Amino acid sequence: MATRAAHKRLTREFQTLSTNPPPYITAHPSESNILEWHYILTGPPSTPYEGGQYWGTLVFPPDYPFAPPAIRMHTPSGRFRCDERLCLSISDFHPKSFNPAWEVSTILLGVLSFMTSEEMTTGSISATEAERKILAARSRWDNSTGAGSTTRALKGQPIVHQPSSNTKGLGAIRKNAAGQAFRDQWPELDEENWKWMEERRIDPQTGKIIGAKSTQQSCSPETSALRRRAGASNARLGAVVGGGQAARNAGQSWVRRNWSYLAIAAVFAYVLIARALGER
């Protein structure tokens, strides 16, 4: 149970966050426990997380602000392990380094800053930029369906797929109540996410586009994120190929311009070798 000081401090911080939230951050305490906060980080532009919807929790100690919270992220991001405590200077891993002047907004800005860096710590993981883009593109689906563990279907669409048994690797299915927990804490966001899936005809159980007829069309939301990179990738590939061709042409032109000198040098070398062999 929160102390009176902690309750007063967290109530004030919620009011401040509600009226003046930091960019890409929103958060609120649980209705049943003011020490348990839920946050959403929106992936900032020009990062691999752009547009992603990352849900996590802060669990404060009863004597906050004289001790830091436990910090977790529940949405797969390619940066943090899901549901594990994160070892940050602003988390409960380092209570002695926590400054009581830091607020919830300070803590979440620190999480967002660390997320967009490449520093490693307990609870963080390595992933490629492409993998992080994939997870950002599927984050809404992941949050509102519990990574496909929902039994809800889109309007007019019967459930034709069973939840996958995949529990390892990129985009692994987590068979738990994550979808319900997200809906309980973020009902408005959850409804927006379902509308997003309706508009794109995303199968809630698989994350695939419903009714796609080919492998190219039958893709999950992350495919569009990878397609956005295709133009730039092709341009870079063209530059590399063009550069290699130019280098080969330059080399061939030099040989044609200097063939006579090369022939004389070859004859001269042959004479020197023959004389050396004759003197032996």
Q: How confident is the model at residue 274 (pLDDT cuts 50, 70, 90)?
A: low
Residues with catalytic annotation? Answer: 87
Averaged pLDDT score across all residues of the chain: 80
How sure is the predictor about 156, in pLDDT bands with cuts at 50, 70 and 90?
confident
**11 has a pLDDT exceeding 80:** yes
More confident residue, 210 or 231: 210
CA–CA distances in Å: residue 152 to residues 69, 158, 202, 257: 34, 9, 12, 73
- Residue 122 predicted with pLDDT over 80: yes
User: What digits encode the pLDDT tens for the residues 54-68?
Assistant: 999 999 999 999 999
Res 223: pLDDT: 47
Q: What average pLDDT does the segment 210-234 reach?
A: 50
Edge-to-edge strand ranges of the sheet holding 70-73: 25-29, 36-42, 53-59, 70-73
Percent of the chain with pLDDT over 90: 61
CA distance readout (Å), 62 to 29, 93, 160, 226, 263: 14, 16, 47, 45, 88
Domain 4-115: CATH architecture, name and number where available: Roll (3.10)
Predicted confidence at residue 66, as pLDDT, reads 96
Q: Does the structure show a pLDDT above 90 at 121?
A: yes
**Could you give the CA distance from residue 53 to residue 40 in angstroms, rounded to a whole number?**
7
